[in-house]
Amino acid sequence: MRKRKVQINTIQHWRENLTPEEKKMLYLESIPGQVSASMAFEGDHVSLKMLKEYLRKLKGTHQPLAS
């Protein structure tokens, strides 16, 4: 039950307190982890570091991504 409440609070915080730019940044930073997990599920190893580097290049910045 506690986990469900934490999830609801997180979603509520996301919807009410984050700017559109913050939402986009968090979404983009979550992509490498999702891709890596998906590929691992399929039996293909993909380096999370490589995916983060690729996303950084796509974003056109040299700022480190959150881990």
Domain that holds residue 62: 20-67
Confirm whether 12 is domain-assigned: no
Confirm whether 63 is domain-assigned: yes
Confirm whether 34 is domain-assigned: yes
- Is there a contact between 33 and 48 (Cβ–Cβ < 8 Å)? yes
Helices (H), the chain: 2-17, 20-41, 48-59
As for how many domains the chain has, the answer is 1
Distance CA 39, CA 44 (A): 5
C-alpha closest to that of 32 among 44, 49, 18: 49
Predicted confidence (pLDDT) per residue in 6-62, tens digit = 777 888 887 888 898 888 888 888 888 888 888 777 777 778 888 888 878 877 765
